[in-house]
Structure 1
C-alpha cells in the first residue's frame, strides 16, 4: 500500500532493509512512532519525553551526520497544525537540549507535514529530523523534501 491511508510510503525508503521493515510494520498495522510501539519496534530507546514530544535516535541515520535524532509527537498526527501551539514551544526547547548536548558547529532540522506521497516522507506520523553536523562530514547530508 502506498496510498493516503497507508502508515508508510514505501517509495521513500532509503535502503532495501528499511523498505522491508516498513512493509512488515504496514502489514501488521503498526505505527513505529506511536508511543505504545516504541519499546518493541524501535532500535533506540526514548531519550527524553515531554508533554507533547519524545526524542529518540534514528535507526536509519542520514550519512554525513554526527548524530541523527527524531523528535516525535506523542499523538499520532500527520501535520504540524494538528498539534497545539504549546507543542511548538516544546519542540524549540527539545532542539536546544540536543544542541547543548553535542555543542555542534551546526544543526539542521527538517519536518515533513501532510501527505507523504508529496513531501518525501516515509512514515505517516509527523516527526522532525534533527541532525548534528561537523566541519568534515563523510558526505553531504541530503534531506528529501518532495515527491
Structure 2
C-alpha cells in the first residue's frame, strides 16, 4: 500500500497513524482543498488567494498553539511559490499572531522530499507553533525537522 502524497514512516502512533493509513488506501493528497474537509476535522480559520489556515488536528505535544498553513494548490517545492504567495503567507502569519496574541513561537515550512524533512504529507505547508514560556521546571517541545547528515 503506497501513496505518493503520504510518508507513513513519519506517522505518529494512534489516531494519526490510522488516518494516514486510510488516506494512503484512498490514494489522495489530504491537503488538497477538495480532500481537506474529509480528512481534517478542525475548521478553516481563514483563507486567502494562496493559503488555507487551520489548527493542526495532530499537534505536537506540549504546544499551546499549532497552526497549519496549507497552500491551496498542490505544490511541493518552494521554487513553485510566486511573490503573491509569499505576501499572502505573511498576511496570514501576522493575522494569526495578532488574533491569538502569540508572544513568541517558531515557524517552519515543509517542502520537498519527506525523507529529508520528516513530513508525513507531500504538499507544501507550514507550521506556526507556540508553547509556554520557559521556566525552570518545563520540558522542551521536540519537533522532527529532518535528520542528521
TM-score, normalisation: structure 1: 0.90
Structure-1 residue corresponding to 2:69? 71
Structure-2 residue corresponding to 1:90? 88
C-alpha separation between the residues in 2 aligned to 1:121 and 1:106? 23
Unpaired runs of at least 5, structure 2: none
Are the equivalent residues in 2 in contact too, given 1:68–1:132 (CA < 8 A)? yes
Equivalences for residues 8-87 of structure 1 within 5 A: 8-87=6-85
Q: Helix, strand or coil for the counterpart of 1:131?
A: strand
Deviations along 1:70-104, whole A, 9 cap, x unmatched? 00000001122112121011111111111101212
Structure-2 residue corresponding to 1:143? 143
Q: Which runs of 4+ in 1 moved over 6 A?
A: none
Q: Helix, strand or coil for the counterpart of 1:72?
A: strand
CA shift in 2, pair 1:18/1:59, >3 Å: same
Deviation at 1:136, TM superposition (A): 5.0
Of residues 109, 121, 125, the one that matches 2:119 is 121
Are the equivalent residues in 1 in contact too, given 2:51–2:71 (CA < 8 A)? yes
Unpaired runs of at least 5, structure 1: none
